Amino acid sequence: MNKISAAITAVGAYVPEYVLTNKILETMVDTNDEWITSRTGIKERRILKDEGKGTSYLAIQAAKDLMSKKNLDPLEIDMVIVATATPDMPVASTAVYTASQIGATNAFAYDLTAACSSFLYGMSTASSYIESGRYKKVLLIGADKMSSIIDYTDRATCIIFGDGAGAVLFEPNEEGYGLQDELLRSDGIGREFLKIDAGGSILPPSHETVDNKQHYVFQDGRTVFKFAVSNMADVSEKIMNRNHLTGDDVDFLIAHQANKRIIDATAKRMELDEDKVLINIHRYGNTTSATLPLLMSDYENQLKKGDNIVFAAFGGGFTWGSIYLTWAYDS
């Protein structure tokens, strides 16, 4: 019997309707469209405005999109992973609720959290379950309602993040398509530079933490930028080298959409032509766990069976990594 590899066999996505443009942000904080566009590549982002709706709402819509495109019976799903930095609640998994709401009542489910690398790490986790031979259909969803943890008076963060979700289905493949190699890394040095101080076990919520705005994302952007540029490019180059891939062999780079300049630096190190670098940061900003599946969804029509794709991400923690995957279907 051939070795089982873990392939992506379907994609779905969802972004909320409300569009927060750079022009609108100009009325909220001291910033301007020219600065945001030239420093980040972002033009607009989507925000989930509806009261009472959290990350699970985004995840459920993305999963439903995938299931209707694939004509997938939810009862066939073995497992649901929700990669997220903004779970509905600290306790009571978002993935469990999502699985129940989409009718995946035969599945077990849990959340996976590694800041902006959550989905990339989730690809590794989902693939390992498939490769073990014990599970046949693993639904991996990347979903974040970043607007729930952003201070819209802080121009250092509010211009960057947006809300959204994407989903992929992993299934066994006996032709050898799917995840080929991975290089995942982390370093606790990053904890000081990108974090939410309060609300966890070190600093539980109090009137004081709310008054001090310690439940919002803090980012030392310049430091994070430096680590992101060098580390994301390093792992992407390494995974190419050890799989004997040149820039000509790689069909697409699907990189975390945090800053267009970080993506460009990675693509340059990989010696990739511009048309191989998938971009949608201008439309959604940084949706944290949703950036990679949103790219797959937006560009699904261009992806062909056998395409060599390098995925890369960098996020808080620090967490980062690269995955080499071959695409398994023509859409």
Tell me which residues are annotated as active site: 116, 256, 286
Q: Which residue has the tokens 């990675």?
A: 266
- Cβ neighbours of residue 174 under 8 Å, at least 6 residues apart? 1, 2, 4, 5
- Closest-CB residue for ligand UT7? 221
Per-residue binder mask for ligand UT7 (CB under 6 A), 193-232, x = binder: ----------------------------xx-xx--x----
Beta bridge partner(s), residue 112:
83
Shortest distance, position 227 Cβ to ligand UT7, whole Å: 8
First-to-last C-alpha distance (Å) of the chain: 27
- Residue 269 CB, nearest distance to ligand UT7 (Å)? 16
Shortest Cβ 229–ligand UT7 spacing (Å)? 9
Identify the bridge partners of residue 218 per DSSP, sorted by sequence position.
195
DSSP H or E stretch at residue 120: helix 118-131
Measured from the CB atom, the residue of 122 and 172 that comes closer to ligand UT7 is 122
CB-based burial label for 18 (10 Å; 0-12, 13-18, 19+): middle
Which residues sit opposite 315 in a β-bridge?
319
Query: How far, in Å, CA of 233 to CA of 310, rounded?
Result: 11
Name the minimum Å distance from CB 167 to ligand UT7.
20
The reply on whether position 185 binds ligand UT7 by CB under 6 A is: no
Q: What type of residue is 26?
A: E
Residues binding ligand UT7: what is the number (CB under 6 A)?
A: 19
* Residue 156 sits in the site that holds ligand UT7 (CB under 6 A): yes
For ligand UT7, which is the closer residue by CB, 155 or 195?
155
In this structure, is the dihedral angle defined by the CA atoms of residues 189, 41, 183 and 67, taken in order, positive or negative? positive
Which one among 4, 33, 37, 39 touches ligand UT7, defined by CB under 6 A? 39
Instruction: Confirm if 93 and 110 have CB atoms less than 8 A apart.
Output: yes
User: Sign of the C-alpha dihedral, residues 236, 239, 241, 244?
Assistant: negative
Nearer to ligand UT7, 108 or 218 (CB): 218
| Cis preceding-peptide flag for 318 (omega within 30 of 0) | yes
Determine if 34 is a binding residue for ligand UT7 (CB under 6 A).
no
Instruction: Answer yes or no whether residue 31 interacts with ligand UT7 by CB under 6 A.
Output: yes
Q: Which residues pair with 44 in a beta bridge?
A: 21
Q: Which of residues 254-313 bind ligand UT7 (CB under 6 A)?
A: 258-259, 262, 286
Q: Is 10 in the site for ligand UT7 (CB under 6 A)?
A: no
Binding mask 234-263 for ligand UT7 (x = CB under 6 A): ------------------------xx--x-
Phi, psi dihedrals of residue 152, rounded to the nearest 5°: -80, 20
Binding site for ligand UT7 (CB under 6 A): 31, 35, 39-40, 116, 155-156, 159, 221-222, 224-225, 228, 258-259, 262, 286, 314-315
